Structure 1
Amino acid sequence: MEKARRERNGRPSTLVVRAAPGRKSRAIVRFGPLTLMAAIGRSGRTVVKREGDGATPIAAMRLLHGFRRGERNGHLPTTLSVRRIRPDMLWCDQPTDANYNRLVKAPFKPSHEEMKRNDGLYDICLVLDWNVTSRVRNRGSAIFLHLIRPGYEPTAGCVAVSARDMRRILPFLRKGTIVRVL
């Protein structure tokens, strides 16, 4: 963790996500001296990410900011900007909408994801810069680093880690930290 601490104070640190042997929807995450298990997209990884393909993009993505479920998570030990999730927060995943791959407010008719989920996946949810700062229709939306489902079930394209592991790495993550999916 000393290396991660040094990198936090200087250049952006890197969280490396590699495919785990045996299952295309499992991954191994390396962050400094830590090795963590993770879930990735049900379709594995891809260099040609498309909306709804269930794949995690092979890319180097910067961490932008995050969200937290307030009643389940108090203050989080991170320098990242983390907003408390409200019930009216949604994320637009409709490629033809002007708000594609953006946070929107309910009521909102086009296709979207609820940020305040009942399953707890977004209790801690960090936004990766995949198709966010420079958007292209159908290139994929809502690519996050978030919490895992029991049994490390696949994601729809995100990277997911356990709550314990998220809390271990959060103090070392900051805006600009690179999440590199190989």
Structure 2
Amino acid sequence: MTTDSTLSRLVVRRRPGDPARGWLAAGGLVLPCALGRSGVTRDKREGDGATPAGRFAPLQAFFRADAGPRPRTTLPLRAIRPSDGWCDAARDRNYNRPVALPYPASAERMMREDGLYDLVVDLSANRRPILKGRGSAIFLHVARTGVQPTEGCIALEKRALAKLLARIGPRTRIVVVG
């Protein structure tokens, strides 16, 4: 831990016997998490349903202002707007970047009705540099009921994510073990 009580490192490991579920270790806290439906991979491809292995830095956080209070965090933070999207079209010039909706290429809506993006952190996966087809919108976000598998993200129960968000910052590293 750093002196400002921000966690310096989170470690995500898959559970033995269930590649789509894992444990997120944050300091002395260990939280159940959902991983991609295809488990963890070192060779991430768009649409493979896998969570990429590697070391990531949280770039920024987003929240739904209509779904709860503004979360505490030292990350750059912005409320999600109805026009916010994230391009997932591998051949588009804005692939794996935020875009304004409606967008002419395929883009995921950030203001989801299912609550998964009520709190969301951009994990920097395939962001610097962006490689076409190597995965888009890899986030830390709210889990489905029962902490069900994701499309390639890491997901936590909403209360756990809000608590964790208060303890992570720009210097935190998220290590996903393959």
> Per the shorter chain, which TM-score range?
over 0.9
* Aligned residue number for residue 133 of structure 2: 138
Question: Identity, % of aligned pairs?
Answer: 43
* Aligned residue number for residue 158 of structure 1: 153
Equivalent of 1:107, from 73, 90, 102? 102
Q: Which amino acid aligns with 2:60?
A: H
* Aligned residue number for residue 122 of structure 1: 117
Equivalent of 2:79, from 84, 104, 124? 84
Structure 1 position 68 matched with structure 2 position 63: yes
* Cα offset, 1:8, TM superposition: 5.9
Per the alignment, do residues 75 and 135 of structure 1 end up closer, same or farther by CA in structure 2, a change over 3 Å counting?
A: same
Q: Within 1, Cα distance between the matches of 2:6 and 2:157?
A: 26
Q: Within 2, Cα distance between the matches of 1:142 and 1:171?
A: 22
3-state SS, counterpart of residue 89 of structure 2:
coil
* Aligned residue number for residue 167 of structure 1: 162
Instruction: State the TM-score, normalizing by the size of structure 2.
Output: 0.95
Per the alignment, do residues 8 and 100 of structure 1 end up closer, same or farther by CA in structure 2, a change over 3 Å counting?
A: farther
Residue pair 1:60, 1:180 contacting (<8 A) in 2 also: yes
Q: Which amino acid aligns with 1:145?
A: L
Equivalent of 1:96, from 91, 98, 108? 91
Q: Within 1, Cα distance between the matches of 2:23 and 2:16?
A: 9
3-state SS, counterpart of residue 155 of structure 2:
strand
Q: Deviations over 1:103-146 (max 9, x none)?
A: 00012021111000000000000001111121010010000000
* Aligned residue number for residue 31 of structure 1: 26
3-state SS, counterpart of residue 66 of structure 1:
strand
More helix by share: 1
Q: Which amino acid aligns with 1:59?
A: G
Unaligned runs of 5+ in 2: none
Q: Within 2, Cα distance between the matches of 1:133 and 1:12?
A: 23
Q: Which amino acid aligns with 1:158?
A: C
- Which portions of structure 1, spanning 4 or more consecutive aligned residues, are displaced by more than 4 angstroms? none
* Cα offset, 1:154, TM superposition: 0.6
Q: Within 2, Cα distance between the matches of 1:149 and 1:83?
A: 22
3-state SS, counterpart of residue 12 of structure 2:
strand
Number of paired residues?
177
Unaligned runs of 5+ in 1: 1-5
Equivalent of 1:59, from 54, 60, 69? 54
CA RMSD after TM alignment: 1.4
Q: Which amino acid aligns with 2:21?
A: R
Instruction: State the TM-score, normalizing by the size of structure 1.
Output: 0.93
Structure 1 position 42 matched with structure 2 position 37: yes
